[in-house]
Amino acid sequence: MKIIKKSFNCFAILNLSILLASCEKIIKIDPPNSELVRTVVFNNEETARSAMAAPYVELARGGFASGSVGNGMNFLGGLSSDELIYIGNSTNSDIIEVFTNSITPSNSYIKAVWDGGYKIIYIANSLLEGASNSENISNQQRKQITGEALFIRAFCHFYMLCCFGDIPYIKSTDYQKNTNIERSPINEVYELIENDLLVAKDFLEESYEVFGGNRTRPIEYAADALLARLYLYQGDWAQAELSATSVISETALYQMSELADIFKANSAEAIWQLEPTLSYTWAGSSFIPSPAVFQYTRFAMLSGELVSSFEATDLRRAEWIGEFLTDDLYYYPYKYKKSHSTLEEFDEYYMVLRLAEQYLIRAEARARLQKRDGAISDLDVIRSRTRLPLITDIQPNIDYEALLDMILKERRLELMTEWGHRWFDLRRFEKANETLGHIKPGWRPEALWFPIPESEILLNPKLLPQNSGY
């Protein structure tokens, strides 16, 4: 694969400060051999700690495709689903392709997702190999690096699977091997992700204390949270319920926050956040418009239908949706309040995993297991924060089909423009065709998956066959 052959292994030229300041400068360098990685990066514990920051820096810059679309999965997932509308420059054909679900295999944004995901996976594998072979770090540090790198590798493969379906699962930095690797079926990729997370859970820290209370590195409950989502996507409802419960039960660590505080640094609801590399998040800078840059940002506005889905009394409507008036009234995601550098105190972190999702996961799992009362109870945790009527009061005997519809709606509103949840949910619930078919001209079922980038197939024909419809 091109991403592995070109290599984004930023460890080849440590000085780590150069890596963290500008990974773009490294991307045209061929990958070093494994001995160079092991002897340079892990020659002492200080450089090993610095190296561990690399995948988080990449993710904090916007996640997958950050170099091209600013906010990666939030943006592409929103455009692919019914969250965001494109109202910008008509000459940007690649963006129009994403918005109209008529993507071609040469689309630069989809290639950026592929490149971005495997870039971080490559870094994670470099960390794993370095930690395994270095004699200059303690066993405790080796354990921590191993756990975090396995978690990052699983996390990135999960998103690559959600975007492309069958994908290669990359476990080494051997680019000669990786340039001839085949795609694994979805069920096998799920199994490999699960294995990485289960091993990572045993190696990860038990609390945030070792990180000074910062929630910017995953601990064992982040692995549980991602496992809960993984099991939900596979339809393993019992395991999804158990994994979500293991997180929800940690009340000393996690509590539901007030709406205004959720996306603050180290909020009680945060399971895993990313500390931005600037004094604001990419989520804020990508979505919040201003008169000076409106022509740039206006392509990512919320759909009017989504905005109208919030009930009048729903506190999320006022807290999470901004309005911008120019020639027309536009709505934009406002979960993050800062979009540029200011003199104000920097207090927002980029949310990746949070407690509310775990309640929604458990609610859905319980509903599918015919556990009505438990599902309603979990859903009401979300609704009570928004000041919406509780299901237990207004529909205690709701049937399961209606309950699942309500859970899907709450997922849409609660997780709006976060990491592509809506896009993946429409596919999981088999609602994409009926939801998108009447609002997107030319919609076709094959658009449920992104195409494998054409340039990658040219480099490695074993990635064939191309996804259906492309």
Q: Give DSSP secondary structure letters for 138-186.
A: -HHHHHHHHHHHHHHHHHHHHHHHHHHSSB-------HHHHTTPPPBPH
Burial code (b: 16+ CB inside 10 Å, e: under 16) for 44-73 equals: eeebbebbbbbbbbbbbbbbbbbbbbbbbb
User: Which pLDDT does position 361 carry in this prediction?
Assistant: 99
Q: Is residue 65 part of a domain?
A: yes
Q: Specify the pLDDT at position 87.
A: 83
Residue closest to 368 by CA, chosen among 234, 251, 209: 234
Range 407-433 average pLDDT = 97
22-32 mean pLDDT: 34
Residue 281 has pLDDT above 60, yes or no: yes
What's the rounded mean pLDDT across residues 331-344?
A: 81
CA 100 to chain centre: 22
Q: Which residue has the higher pLDDT, 410 or 280?
A: 410
pLDDT in tens, 172-205: 998 888 889 999 999 999 999 999 999 999 999 9
Residues 248, 252, 253, 256, CA torsion sign:
positive
CATH at residue 77? 1.25.40.390
Give dist(CA 157, CA 418) in Å, integer. 18
Predicted confidence band at 16 (pLDDT cuts at 50, 70, 90)? Answer: very low
Domain contains 266: no
* Residue 183 within a domain: yes
Q: Rounded to an integer, what distance in angstroms lies between the CA atom of residue 161 and that of residue 424?
A: 11
Work out how many domains the chain is built from and give that number.
1
Backbone angles phi, psi at 290, to 5 degrees: -150, 155
Domain assignment present for 356: no
Is pLDDT above 60 for 374?
yes
Q: Does residue 37 lie within any of the structural domains? A: yes
State yes or no: pLDDT of 159 exceeds 60. Answer: yes
Q: Lowest-pLDDT range, 164-168, 346-350, 399-403, 411-415?
A: 346-350
Least confident of 157-161, 288-292, 445-449: 288-292
The predicted structure's pLDDT at residue 407: 98
In the prediction, which pLDDT does 2 show? Answer: 42
Q: Considering the domain boundaries, does residue 80 fall inside one?
A: yes
* pLDDT tens string 306-328: 999 999 999 999 999 999 888 78
Does residue 352 lie within any of the structural domains? no
Could you tell me if residue 443 is inside a domain?
no
Of the given ranges (30-34, 272-276, 331-335, 428-432), which has the lowest mean pLDDT?
30-34
Which ranges in 61-138 belong to alpha helices (H)? Answer: 66-69, 72-80, 93-99, 108-133
pLDDT number for residue 70 = 46
Question: Are 267 and 254 in contact, with CB atoms under 8 Å apart?
Answer: no
How high is the pLDDT of residue 346?
A: 81
Domain with 186, as residue range(s), is 1-204
Q: How far apart are CA 59 and CA 419, in angstroms?
A: 12
